[in-house]
């Protein structure tokens, strides 16, 4: 247990709706994330993936259960945990240059060290030379890379990502997946990613957890035994990749079918 970076134990999250009634989003989710492990959580839409991630990162208090990061229970976003959000255009501060946005992640260092770290992080994501630009001067993919640089600048032990590539086009998505893979390969952080893209989850992860519809529980855990480093073309060409995608997809479909009734009531 000592080599686990994050353990989520029987996490339960209920959100109060406008009329005052409690909505149970997450019923019972447990997971252990080991040192330098890449785990993805997939689930049908509306299964409360983002809520789960917000509770797991300390951004919102859970209604039950606990989250242990680095041996300590968390009640706030702890040091050493970085988060990349889906909407880069709402997560990067538009009034700051890219360099200053990235420097936000390294506030605790001296001026000189911060400048060096920002420089290094920008090189890692292929954005050196863009430090003085504003976010709106960059394409969507570049903005998300800047957000990644901001997350990496403090050498986190754990990187959480909430549908990090959902707001960009397919080719940019492939490219960003490889940026993340390269960062992960060349570093020691563990990663927890929430996504609805099964191919992406299989491509990047060591394990994929399938969430049920809400109130969500962990429905299945699939080990991804694909060789690393992976490549968009070679890895996706292998039969094993297809099998794993199909396997995860099957479980997600099951979860989705079970939820159709619930989904309808939520919509109304």
Partner 1 sequence: MIGVKAGPRRGSTIARAGLGWLGLAILATVWQLLGMELHTAVFPTFITSLVAAWHVVTSSTLTTDIIPSLERTAAGFLISAIIGITAGMVIGHYETVRDWTSAVVDFMRSLPTPLLVPIAIVVFGINGRMVVVTIISAAVWPILINTANGTSTIEPTMIDTAKTYGLRGRKLFLKVVLPAASPQIFAGLRVALSVSLAVMVVAEMLGGGSGIGYFIANAQQSFNIGGSYGGVIVLGCLGWIFDTLFLMFERRLLAWQRGTVGGLLDV
Write out the residues near partner 1 by the rule CB under 8 A. 54, 57, 59, 76-77, 79, 81-83, 85-87, 89-91, 93-97, 104-105, 107-108, 132-137, 139-140
Closer residue to partner 1, CB minimum distance, 57 or 259? 57
CB of 195 to partner 1, least distance (A): 17
Q: How far is the CB of 101 from partner 1 (least distance, A)?
A: 9
Which residue's CB is nearer to partner 1, number 41 or number 252? Answer: 41
Nearest-approach distance from CB 58 to partner 1, in angstroms: 9
Q: Is 136 exposed, middle or buried (0-12, 13-18, 19+ CB in 10 A)?
A: exposed
- Measured from the CB atom, the residue of 18 and 268 that comes closer to partner 1 is 18
Q: What is the dihedral of CA 92, 63, 2, 76, to 10 degrees?
A: 40
CA distance 226 to 150: 29
Q: Shortest approach of partner 1 to residue 125 CB, angstroms?
A: 17
Q: How far is the CB of 183 from partner 1 (least distance, A)?
A: 18
CB atoms within 10 A of CB 111: 8
Contacts of 38 (CB under 8 A, 6+ apart): 184, 190, 191, 193, 204, 205, 206, 207
| Residue with Cβ nearer partner 1 (44 or 135) | 135
Q: What's the residue count for the chain? A: 268
Least distance (Å) between residue 15 CB and partner 1 = 13
Cis peptide before 116 (omega within 30 of 0): no
> Are 26 and 13 in contact, with CB atoms under 8 Å apart?
yes
Q: ∠ at Cα 104 (57, 152), nearest 5°? A: 60
145/251 with CB nearer partner 1: 145
Q: Which of residues 77 and 220 has its CB atom nearest to partner 1 in the complex?
A: 77
Nearest distance in Å: CB 149, partner 1: 13
Nearer to partner 1, 180 or 198 (CB): 180
């Amino acid at each position: 247990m000592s080599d686990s970076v994050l353990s989520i134990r029987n996490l339960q999250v209920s959100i109060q709706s406008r009329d005052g009634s409690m909505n149970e989003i997450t019923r019972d989710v447990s997971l252990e994330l080991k040192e330098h492990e890449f785990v993805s959580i997939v689930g049908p839409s509306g299964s409360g993936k983002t809520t789960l991630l917000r509770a797991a990162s300390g951004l919102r208090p859970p209604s039950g259960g606990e989250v242990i990061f680095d041996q300590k229970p968390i009640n706030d976003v702890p040091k050493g945990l970085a988060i990349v959000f889906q909407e880069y255009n709402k997560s990067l501060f538009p009034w700051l240059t890219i360099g200053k946005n990235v420097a936000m992640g390294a506030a605790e260092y001296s001026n000189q060290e911060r400048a060096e770290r920002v420089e290094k992080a920008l090189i890692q994501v292929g954005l050196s030379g863009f430090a003085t630009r504003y976010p709106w001067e960059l394409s969507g993919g570049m903005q998300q890379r800047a957000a990644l640089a901001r997350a990496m600048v403090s050498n986190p032990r754990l990187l959480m990502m909430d549908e990090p590539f959902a707001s960009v086009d397919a080719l940019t998505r492939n490219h960003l997946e490889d940026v993340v893979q390269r960062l992960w390969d060349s570093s020691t952080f563990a990663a927890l990613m929430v996504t609805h893209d099964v191919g992406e989850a299989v491509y990047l992860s060591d394990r994929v957890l399938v969430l049920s519809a809400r109130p969500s529980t962990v429905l299945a855990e699939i080990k991804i035994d694909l060789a690393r480093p992976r490549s968009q073309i070679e890895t996706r060409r292998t039969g094993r990749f297809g099998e794993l995608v199909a396997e995860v997809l099957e479980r997600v479909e099951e979860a989705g079918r079970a939820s159709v009734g619930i989904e309808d009531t939520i919509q109304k």
